[in-house]
Every structure is written in structure tokens, then in C-alpha cells.
Amino acid sequence: MNDTGQQVDLVDGEIVVGIAGAALMAALTGVLAYLALPYPWSPEPITLQILGIFLVGVFLGAKWGGLSMVLYLVAGGVGAPVFAHGQAGIGHLFGSSAGYLFSFPIAVVVIGLLAYGHTGMGDPSSLSHSRLIGSLVAGAAIIYALGIVGLMVVLELSLVEALIGGAVVFFPGEAAKIAAAVAIAQSGHVVDWPPQGIGQ
Amino acid sequence: MLTYEPGTTVGHRLDARAKLGFQIAFAVAAFAHTTMSGMAVLSVLALAVLATARVSPLRALWSIRVPLVLLAFAPLLAAATLGPPWLDIGDGLVTALASYRVVLILLVSTAYVVTTAPRESRAAIQWAVPGRPGVVLGIGVSLIFRFLPVLQSDLRRIRDAIAARGGENASLRRRAELIGILGVSRTFRRANRLALAMQARCFSWNPTLPPLSATRLDVPVVALSSMLLLSPLL
């Protein structure tokens, strides 16, 4: 062990809990992004990456969810295999999926703000059905809009071409993922989080 | 899928900060010089980078096969037109070059992934982002590396349990719902225990990190990165 002669500067309990939740939910998003489920309407198996993004927004709220997604991008950038299909590397932040990747933190913050009206965490099972669906649809719209813009910029495609290349490849199953995210949020079966209760 | 592999290649001996800076400089140069000659020069450079990390180009290409599908498909998409002449070769070529530069950028980043230990990356992140935000980023990234395999095995068990109960025949929505409820619950339980353990071990704002040390080996990398960064001005 190195003795650096410094005083230890402890981190507050609430922040420790927030960081642990944000990092582990980012890792869960990475695992879901690696998962490929066969889907009859899609030419290739779809991943649950976007479902992970929805869950981060709904369960962690704008502030900690936003941090979670920033951690996701940084970790993937330095080599954790968390991007879709287990991809990793800073190159993806400049590549064809860059628009989608950079949209994740923005989408999560928007989902959190629209669902709870503040930056903290809330109780997802207390939300009205329409408010929850509205916030998730807004999040999905941001992800696809920025994803398509990313394709246009990086691959120099026209809007129509980017729509065909981007949305058609990724879009199948999106409604199913939103429906699943709503069911998960309102199931009441998810462990309480944060441990000290809502109200941060 | 390539991940960090311990080794003693030139790529392994370089400083993580120099490697990160080089990748950004390479991407800037690739976007600035998307021409035939520019791509030729950068292709040679990308192959040299893979050689320093002893990663064969074929292995690197195989690791990025998923994004490659879209990158190969994009030029065809750009070339196709609705109505005569049906194929616009010029449009296709522009996108082909744009796709190719992304392939080069991805190849260079595989060299970083293979040669850089997560703890070195963490130290580089905290060097680049000083103060508390850097500590939060550093610890968060370390935790993601640490817990990714753990959560993967959690999810595998969840999927096995669903399959054992005939859940494989359920709709996509139902499967996603079950995976989500069980996955989030398990993740939160782990996060609870982790937060408690971190506090019990005096998790602090000023942890001791592995020392980063730039060596003479890094000088050419930094010089080359500077040249690439300045190349758009040429």
C-alpha cells in the first residue's frame, strides 16, 4: 500500500448510493445490449439496449440516470464491451452509431424530467400510465432523431437514406420495448431503490 | 469481441493518455481528409497501429463485424435512386469513403482496447477530468468493468429460469418484461450491497491511483497526434 500522507476525504452516503446505482444500471444496460432476442419482424436479432435506456430513465431519474449514461459512454469508450452486440472502443463515438450513443444521456434526462417533473428519483409505480408512456415515447423520439442525424453526418447520407438505414434496422420491436418498460415500472415487483427511500 | 489482453507489445508500453489522444487526433484527421489519398495514408497508419499492438487486421475486422454490416450497406443505399438512372455512382463513392473512414477509426480503437488495462484508463480519465467529477467518472467506469461479468451471469441465470418455465415461447414484450423486472431487481440488490461495502471501506474523494508515467516511447505518439490534429489546417 502506498502512504501518500493525505487525509481521507469521505464521500457522502447519498452520493455513494447514487454512484453505485448509476454504475450498475449502466452495466445492466451493457448486458441488455449484448442480449440478442430473435424477433419475427426483424432481419436480425434485436438487442434490449434501448429497453435498458428506458429503465435507467424511469428508475434512476434525470440526475443519476444522466450520470449512468455518461458512465456508459465513457466505459464503452475505454474498452468495456457495453455497446450494442458487445462492441467497445472510442471509435464508436465517432462511428455510424455515434448519434444514437450521444442521444442516450439526453434521452434519459428527458425521460426522468417528463416522468417526475424534477431531477431526482421518483416512484415509477405511482406514475400515471399516460405520463409514463409519453415520457418514454419522447425519449425514443430523441434517440431516433439524433441517431438518424448521426448517420447523415458520419456516412454522408440524405435524410431518406439515413431513415432507411437507421430506423428500419433498429426500429422493429420498439413498441414492444416501450410496453415492456411500462409493465416493469408499474409491476411493483422491482426492489425498492434507493435504499433510504424516495425524496432525494 | 476484443477485450484487454495483458502483454508486452509496444502498444502495451505506451501511456494510456497518449493512446487516447492519438485516437481522437486520428478521428479528426479521418474526418478532415476523406479523400482517396487521405484514406490511403490513414490506412497505412491504422495498420501500423494494429502492428504495434500485435492485433492481426483480420481479427480486428472480425471484432467489428456487427457495425461493418451497416457500413458496407450504406454506400449501396446512397447509390440507389428512385427512378432513372437507378444508380448514382458518385453519391455511392462519397458514402463509401465516409464508411471506410469509420472502419479505420474503429480498427485503431480496437488496438487501444486490447492494449490498455481498465485501471490505466481510469487513471487517464481522472487525469483528464480533475476534481470530484473525475473521481465519479473513474470509480463509475471501474465498477462497470468489475460488474459487467457478474450481471452477465445474473442475466444468464434469469434467462435459463424463464426458459425452464416455457417462457421462450412468449411474446417479445413479455420476455423483455420478465428479463427487466428480474434484471433490475437483482441489479438494485447488488447496488445496495455495493454501496454499503464502499461506505464500510471508507470510499473517499481522494483514492490512490496507479501512477501514470509517460516515457520516451510516447514522444513519437504525441508528435504524430499533434500532426494529425493540425492536418485539417493544411
Which residues in chain B have their CB less than 8 angstroms from residue A39's CB? 172
Could B137 and A74 be called an inter-chain contact, meaning their C-beta atoms sit closer than 8 Å?
A: yes
Could A16 and B199 be called an inter-chain contact, meaning their C-beta atoms sit closer than 8 Å?
A: yes
CA angle B5-B7-B12, nearest 5°?
Answer: 95
Contacting A residues, span 156-195, partner chain B, CB-CB under 8 Å: 156-158, 161, 164-165, 169, 173, 176-177, 179-181, 183-184, 187, 189-193, 195
- Residue A146's alpha-carbon distances to A101, B91, B198, in angstroms, are 9, 23, 37
**Do the Cβ atoms of A166 and A84 come closer than 8 Å?**
no
Asked whether the predicted pLDDT for residue A5 surpasses 80, the reply is: no
pLDDT digits (tens, 9 = 90+) for A147-181: 999 999 999 999 988 888 776 666 768 888 999 99
| Nearest chain B CA: its distance from A111 CA (Å) | 17
Q: Tell me how far apart the alpha carbons of residues B226 and B5 are, in angstroms, rounded to a whole number.
A: 28
Which residues in chain B have their CB less than 8 angstroms from residue A181's CB? 180
Per-residue pLDDT of chain B (234 residues; tens, 9 = 90+): 788 999 999 999 999 999 999 999 999 999 999 999 999 999 999 999 999 999 999 999 999 998 898 899 899 888 987 767 777 888 899 999 999 999 999 999 999 999 999 999 999 999 999 889 999 999 999 999 999 999 999 999 999 999 999 888 888 889 999 999 999 999 999 999 999 999 998 888 887 777 888 899 999 999 999 999 999 887
Q: pLDDT at position A174, please?
A: 86
Q: pLDDT at position B210, please?
A: 77
* Three-state secondary structure of B26-89: HHHHHHHCCCHHHHHHHHHHHHHHHHHCCCCHHHHHHHCHHHHHHHHHHHHHHHECCCCCCECH
Q: pLDDT at position A69, please?
A: 98
Which residues in chain B have their CB less than 8 angstroms from residue A150's CB? none
Q: pLDDT at position B212, please?
A: 84
Q: Is A84 on the interface with B (CB under 8 A)?
A: yes
Which residues in chain A have their CB less than 8 angstroms from residue B107's CB? 91
Share of chain A above pLDDT 90, in %: 64
Q: pLDDT at position A125, please?
A: 86
pLDDT digits (tens, 9 = 90+) for A52-64: 999 999 999 999 9
Q: Is the pTM value of this prediction over 0.85?
A: yes
Nearest CA in chain A to B28: A94
Q: For residue A200, name the pLDDT band (cuts at 50, 70, 90).
A: very low
Q: Tell me how far apart the alpha carbons of residues B117 and B130 are, in angstroms, rounded to a whole number.
A: 20
| Nearest chain A CA: its distance from B200 CA (Å) | 10
Q: pLDDT at position B225, please?
A: 95
How many CB atoms are located within 10 Å of the residue B73 CB?
A: 15
Q: Whose CA is closest to A193, among B212, B67, B66, B189?
A: B189
pLDDT digits (tens, 9 = 90+) for A25-49: 999 999 999 988 777 666 567 889 9
Q: Tell me how far apart the alpha carbons of residues B12 and B4 are, in angstroms, rounded to a whole number.
A: 10
DSSP code at position B146: H
Q: Tell me how far apart the alpha carbons of residues B25 and A190 are, in angstroms, rounded to a whole number.
A: 44
Asked whether the predicted pLDDT for residue A198 surpasses 60, the reply is: no
| Nearest chain A CA: its distance from B19 CA (Å) | 10
Residue A132 burial class via C-beta count within 10 angstroms: exposed 0-12, middle 13-18, buried 19 and up: buried
Residue B182 burial class via C-beta count within 10 angstroms: exposed 0-12, middle 13-18, buried 19 and up: buried
Helix (H) or strand (E) holding B169: none
Q: Tell me how far apart the alpha carbons of residues A104 and A75 are, in angstroms, rounded to a whole number.
A: 14
Reading the block at residue B135, the C-alpha cell is: 473521481
Which residues in chain B have their CB less than 8 angstroms from residue A13's CB? 195, 199
CA angle B91-B96-B97, nearest 5°?
Answer: 105
**Do the Cβ atoms of B228 and B30 come closer than 8 Å?**
no
In chain A, where does DSSP find H-type helix?
13-34, 49-77, 98-116, 129-155, 159-170, 174-185
Nearest to A81 among B1, B155, B183 (CB): B1
